[in-house]
A and B are shown apart, each in its own frame.
Chain A
């Protein structure tokens, strides 16, 4: 277990140190108006939506699935909430809007679950439907406009502070909740069993379908909350760009964290580290001033490096060299 997280942790440490070298004040924290600021806090705050979505993705991947629709679902959540709030500044309206959005996300998760568990469609195809159609739904909701709102309560979700940014607190709360539920109930074990061997699980009487259905709903709700953060942070709903490609970041975070795309054993801690790596990487790109046109290439190189050191073949090669040296 420790061994599995060693390389991701080293990668994260290396990235953070690189930032420190470029920006000596990177690790500095300061308190202003009771709010905590600093480079590390920024990483956490900007990474909160990715972490949330990656948590949902971890459970989906553990059941041998994948959910490509999370970015689109995030956009829908922001769009629905902003349209509902409109020009209102009331807390009640904001809460109602968010509640409606999250219920809708749960329904979208049910749809994904229906296609995967009910109809037996391959997850990558099943969720591709909503990945493309979802953006269209968000466009319909916003009628093709970028909807801006000015609601104090709503703004708290993505940009507010309670010592730490609210978005960080929400993500950590969900992380804690998932960890608690999967360990304290039998859900974690059953998810792993379904992911490792679906047929054996079925014959042991596991309700595989219900479990698969549950994880897709959970993933969609996570995506919805992330969508609220993204939209709240800028007080606007952008159907086209909100949460764009975030599913890729989330999948990467899960994989970097050591959960296999083949399903089965998963690691929530690994996903947390993976999400931090992805976000630190994005931050690094800005702090060390990588030219915008090579940003994606730079990210890709780092991700490939992290994945390579985790690959069994590369590990074998590394340990072979160790043996040869000794």
Chain B
């Protein structure tokens, strides 16, 4: 890799703010012809926003984009595509009911006599497919092909126009190893033709296998640009995760002082679900905070969902208070005193169009059944108590939840579960996307709950936070539990090491 050719894309000083969030701050980004460039960062780092700025979905507030020496300002994805920037998104954005050829040339069909020239269309499609070495019948219906092939068709569609830049946003998330290899072969073909490929993936192995260069973002800011060969996994991960300088010493102290030797409350024995998480063992004691650490897609959420019965386990068993419990759904988990606050606040947590009051009492009311409504006075008392305790604003019980800020929404969701007085509280990314003040309040709350004897399973992408708050840390990688560490004796570095896989004693191989 030499830097002799000028970059095909150069973005300088890109800033973009959404209401309440600075999504990108003064980010520089370069993309050279004939390279595979990985864009790295955890959730919310600004990867998607940067891609969307490049492809004309968003317009930056500041900064400029230079494409092949010319300053450009796209106002729509169509314009960007016309200029040679093609994008393939994570989900296949094609029409399953049309043929492969139709999908590849949709919107730019060869025409003849006012109609579509189908033979010519099939010929063009076959040429494009041959260019990337995919041999399928262009006249076959797209839905006949597996997802991996559909992904390749999407790529064929992207390169059917004169394409100088190809953006692949998590193309491998639904592919198996063989399919990934095929995709990489095609990426190399295109790279060698001089196409600049921007690649986003959460799988580090893949990034190291395919990419030539990488740019790391964190919290909307540029952390660094490196040749892939120059940066090892450990330093990459610590760049991605960063160090939260506002360490809350008090919370750490509390975690250390806590004896955390209550009786075993929840125990998983070989619990697992195919395609979600490999069978794992886990013990959670009353008054203990167990942290789950791992990168996105490592199985953090999947593990939590099994404990709550949101998904059904297909192996192993769960014991609560030493007795086996068959979870037939969230209701049986709730009855056993388990609560789960989802990372997807809007989709799986809150009921946006209902008031704070209704959202607060929903879980408790659901447990009582509709025939036994909570008396108005009890409700008001609970709502008042938690609005105050968690400092929820506005403190108006009738306000619709969708009008609240992210941090306040998170607190409402937390309060919903606190109302039910759970014995095990599972918090999946409770501090994501909320401001630092609310974050500290929630961390404080977890410490208080544990001191009162509640078991907490704490999931966060921020390792600092996990290490600070947890008594025990369970480390996950590639949908497998790989280690369990003592929280007070562990530093972030050690966890990073394990996640990176450098020093992991991969002893238990379960398949």
Residues of chain A at the chain B interface (Cβ within 8 Å):
184-187, 189-190, 192-193, 196-197, 199-207, 211, 264-265
Cα–Cα distance between A186 and B354 once the two chains are bound (Å): 13
**Which A residues are in CB contact (< 8 Å) with B310?**
203
Residue from B330, B347, B362 having most chain A Cβ neighbours under 10 A: B362
B362 touches A193 (CB 8 A): yes
A189 touches B330 (CB 8 A): no
B350 touches A197 (CB 8 A): yes
B368 touches A186 (CB 8 A): yes
**Given A184-B373, A199-B347, A200-B347; A205-B366 close (CB under 8 Å):** yes
Q: Mark B228-250, 1 if CB is under 8 A from A, else 0.
A: 00000000000000000000000
B209 in contact (CB, < 8 A): no
Q: Mark B365-395, 1 if CB is under 8 A from A, else 0.
A: 1111111111000000000000000000000
Within 8 Å by CB of B353, from A186, A187, A203, A264, lies: A264
Cα–Cα distance between A205 and B347 once the two chains are bound (Å): 15
Within 8 Å by CB of A200, from B334, B348, B370, lies: B348
**Which B residues are in CB contact (< 8 Å) with A200?**
342, 347-351
Cα–Cα distance between A200 and B362 once the two chains are bound (Å): 10
User: Closest Cβ of chain B: how far from A249's Cβ, in Å?
Assistant: 27
B363 in contact (CB, < 8 A): yes
User: Closest Cβ of chain B: how far from A212's Cβ, in Å?
Assistant: 12
**Which A residues are in CB contact (< 8 Å) with B371?**
185-186
Cα–Cα distance between A264 and B352 once the two chains are bound (Å): 10
Cα–Cα distance between A204 and B366 once the two chains are bound (Å): 7
B416 touches A189 (CB 8 A): no
**Which B residues are in CB contact (< 8 Å) with A192?**
351, 353-354, 358
**Given A189-B358, A200-B350; A205-B363 close (CB under 8 Å):** yes
Within 8 Å by CB of A190, from B330, B347, B349, B370, lies: B370
B491 in contact (CB, < 8 A): no
Contacts A186-B372, A196-B354 known; list 4 others, CB within 8 Å.
Answer: A192-B354, A192-B358, A197-B352, A205-B330
A265 to chain B: closest residue by CB: B353
Residue from B352, B354, B366 having most chain A Cβ neighbours under 10 A: B366
**Which A residues are in CB contact (< 8 Å) with B330?**
202-205
B373 touches A193 (CB 8 A): no
B458 in contact (CB, < 8 A): no
B342 to chain A: closest residue by CB: A203
Residues of chain B at the chain A interface (Cβ within 8 Å):
308, 310, 329-331, 334, 340, 342, 347-354, 358, 362-363, 365-374, 416
**Which A residues are in CB contact (< 8 Å) with B367?**
205
User: What's the A-B contact tally at a CB cutoff of 8 Å?
Assistant: 76
User: Closest Cβ of chain B: how far from A256's Cβ, in Å?
Assistant: 20
**Which A residues are in CB contact (< 8 Å) with B334?**
205
Residue from A184, A186, A206, A265 having most chain B Cβ neighbours under 10 A: A186
Cα–Cα distance between A40 and B83 once the two chains are bound (Å): 67
**Which B residues are in CB contact (< 8 Å) with A193?**
351, 354, 358, 362
**Which A residues are in CB contact (< 8 Å) with B329?**
202
Residue from A196, A200, A205, A265 having most chain B Cβ neighbours under 10 A: A205
User: Closest Cβ of chain A: how far from B126's Cβ, in Å?
Assistant: 38
User: Closest Cβ of chain B: how far from A218's Cβ, in Å?
Assistant: 13
**Which B residues are in CB contact (< 8 Å) with A186?**
365, 368-374
B340 touches A190 (CB 8 A): no
Cα–Cα distance between A205 and B337 once the two chains are bound (Å): 12
Cα–Cα distance between A204 and B417 once the two chains are bound (Å): 9
**Which A residues are in CB contact (< 8 Å) with B365?**
186, 189-190
**Which A residues are in CB contact (< 8 Å) with B416?**
204
B333 to chain A: closest residue by CB: A205
Cα–Cα distance between A184 and B366 once the two chains are bound (Å): 15
User: Closest Cβ of chain A: how far from B65's Cβ, in Å?
Assistant: 34
Cα–Cα distance between A193 and B365 once the two chains are bound (Å): 11
A191 to chain B: closest residue by CB: B370
User: Closest Cβ of chain A: how far from B462's Cβ, in Å?
Assistant: 24
A196 touches B352 (CB 8 A): yes
Cα–Cα distance between A265 and B342 once the two chains are bound (Å): 23
B331 touches A205 (CB 8 A): yes
**Which A residues are in CB contact (< 8 Å) with B363?**
204-205
**Given A199-B348, A207-B331; A190-B366 close (CB under 8 Å):** yes
User: Closest Cβ of chain B: how far from A198's Cβ, in Å?
Assistant: 10
Cα–Cα distance between A54 and B334 once the two chains are bound (Å): 36
A211 touches B370 (CB 8 A): yes
B308 to chain A: closest residue by CB: A203
A203 touches B370 (CB 8 A): no
**Which A residues are in CB contact (< 8 Å) with B373?**
184-186
**Given A189-B365, A203-B310, A211-B370; A197-B331 close (CB under 8 Å):** no
Cα–Cα distance between A264 and B354 once the two chains are bound (Å): 9
User: Closest Cβ of chain A: how far from B358's Cβ, in Å?
Assistant: 5
Cα–Cα distance between A203 and B350 once the two chains are bound (Å): 10
User: Closest Cβ of chain B: how far from A197's Cβ, in Å?
Assistant: 5
B341 to chain A: closest residue by CB: A203
Q: What are the 4 tightest A-B residue pairs by CB atom distance, in nearest-first order? A: A206-B366, A205-B366, A186-B373, A205-B334
**Given A185-B370, A186-B373, A189-B365; A203-B340 close (CB under 8 Å):** yes
B353 to chain A: closest residue by CB: A196
Cα–Cα distance between A181 and B374 once the two chains are bound (Å): 14
A206 touches B362 (CB 8 A): yes
**Which A residues are in CB contact (< 8 Å) with B348?**
199-200, 203
Cα–Cα distance between A185 and B375 once the two chains are bound (Å): 9
User: Closest Cβ of chain B: how far from A117's Cβ, in Å?
Assistant: 14
**Given A184-B373, A189-B358; A197-B366 close (CB under 8 Å):** no
User: Closest Cβ of chain B: how far from A312's Cβ, in Å?
Assistant: 15
Cα–Cα distance between A207 and B368 once the two chains are bound (Å): 11
Within 8 Å by CB of A189, from B308, B331, B354, B372, lies: B354
**Given A186-B370, A187-B370; A204-B362 close (CB under 8 Å):** yes
Cα–Cα distance between A251 and B472 once the two chains are bound (Å): 56
B332 to chain A: closest residue by CB: A205
Cα–Cα distance between A307 and B127 once the two chains are bound (Å): 51
Query: 30 pairs across A/B with beta carbons < 8 Å?
Result: A185-B370, A185-B371, A186-B371, A189-B354, A189-B362, A190-B365, A192-B351, A193-B358, A196-B351, A197-B351, A197-B352, A199-B347, A200-B342, A200-B348, A200-B351, A203-B308, A203-B310, A204-B330, A204-B363, A204-B366, A204-B416, A205-B330, A205-B334, A205-B367, A206-B362, A206-B366, A207-B366, A207-B369, A211-B370, A265-B353
